[in-house]
Amino acid sequence: MNASHDYQRVYVWEQPVRWFHWINAASITALGVTGWLIAHPPGLLNAGEASGSFWFGTVRFVHFAVGYVFLANFAFRLYWAFAGNKYASWRNFLPLRKAQVRQIWDVLKVDIMQSSDKPVHTLGHNSVAYFTYAGTGLLTLFQIVSGFALYASMSSSAFPHLFAWLVPVFGSEQNLRLFHYAALWAFIVFTLIHIYLVFYHDYVEGHGVMSSIIGGWKFMEKHKAAAEEAHGISAFPEVKAAPPPVPAKPHATR
Ligand code: HEM
């Protein structure tokens, strides 16, 4: 029989992070499907009026329109990295503290090498996850800038032209398109591993990781939650655990 635990319910993912997550996931799915169709256009024929067979135009329109949503959502998450709670803070995404770097090895032993059965308990993400999301953030940035750079030559709006400088950096539109396409596969690989790992962590740790990205709450044994709040990688540097009480000095007697 499983041991019973005295769990504390901690509000970790605020509503803006959860909205960001699901808008991001939906945008990537829409951009991935429409982007793949643009790269591999199927030769669909029908006997109708040519003007009634403009589906490929619709696919391209959806790709470009969702590109704006993807950009706005990402910009909002960057803002929330400064305005949100400590779990959402930008500090966690950069290797600023020794504890974050040390945790990488502990997580890899459980997740990848499976040589340890001691799960790493964190209320926010663990440091491997934070650094991976920093990587997907850079990938997102590249995909946005390269996407708008490719869009510039076919758009009369001013905004995409702000990114047109990237085309000569890559030598030609075709070269840039190749990298934009490769990033699609990087997102697909990330998504497959990401979904596997969140299910795995939910199962191994039992802290409600999976439901946290819907409702915001995680559950952790009270003593672990207190230690994590004070010293965990999501703890603000200025938050210190209360020092142990200093025993009163006995009065000197003569
Ligand atoms: C059915 C699909 C998905 C599920 C079930 C899922 C689940 C989750 C869960 C449970 C977390 C929180 C993990 C934790 O507390 O440590 C999370 C975070 C995250 N996921 Fe997903 N996810 C999905 C799809 C995606 C996709 C498609 C992307 C992007 C390619 C993505 C990107 C992210 C990012 C960037 C975070 C960190 C959020 C932040 O801190 O702002 N997810 N996901």
Residue range 204-246, pLDDT digits in tens: 888 999 999 999 999 999 988 998 888 888 987 655 555 666 7
User: How large is the average pLDDT for residues 149-162?
Assistant: 96
The fraction of the chain above a pLDDT of 90, given in percent, is: 72
Sequence-distant (≥ 6) Cβ neighbours of residue 226 within 8 angstroms:
8
Distance 98 CA to ligand 1 centre (A): 25
Q: How confident is the model at residue 253 (pLDDT cuts 50, 70, 90)?
A: low
Distance 233 CA to ligand 1 centre (A): 19
Q: If you average pLDDT over every residue of the chain, what do you get?
A: 91
**Contact (Cβ atoms closer than 8 angstroms) between residue 7 and residue 212:** no
Q: How confident is the model at residue 3 (pLDDT cuts 50, 70, 90)?
A: low
Distance CA 23, CA 29 (A): 10
Distance CA 59, CA 240 (A): 53
**Contact (Cβ atoms closer than 8 angstroms) between residue 9 and residue 217:** yes
**What tokens were used for 181?**
């396409």
What's phi and psi for 240, nearest 5 deg? -120, 145
**Contact (Cβ atoms closer than 8 angstroms) between residue 184 and residue 35:** yes
In the three-class reduction of DSSP (H, G, I as helix; E, B as strand; rest coil), residue 46 is classed as coil
Residue nearest (by alpha carbon) to ligand 1 atom 5: 195
Q: Which of 106, 104, 95 is nearest to 128 (CA)?
A: 104
Distance 111 CA to ligand 1 centre (A): 17
Distance 86 CA to ligand 1 centre (A): 18
pTM of the predicted protein model: 0.89
Its CATH architecture, for the domain 17-42+54-197, is Up-down Bundle (1.20)
Distance CA 24, CA 31 (A): 10
Dihedral angle over CA of 94, 97, 102, 105, nearest 10 = 0
Indicate the burial class of 201 (C-beta count within 10 angstroms; 0-12, 13-18, 19 or more).
buried
Distance CA 22, CA 34 (A): 18
Does the beta carbon of 87 sit less than 6 angstroms from any atom of ligand 1?
A: no
* Residue spans per domain, the chain: 17-42+54-197
Helix-then-strand count for the chain, H and E: 9, 2
pLDDT on residue 103: 93
**Contact (Cβ atoms closer than 8 angstroms) between residue 185 and residue 139:** no
Distance 199 CA to ligand 1 centre (A): 11
Ligand 1 pocket test, candidate residues 11, 194, 210, most atoms within 8 A of CB: 194
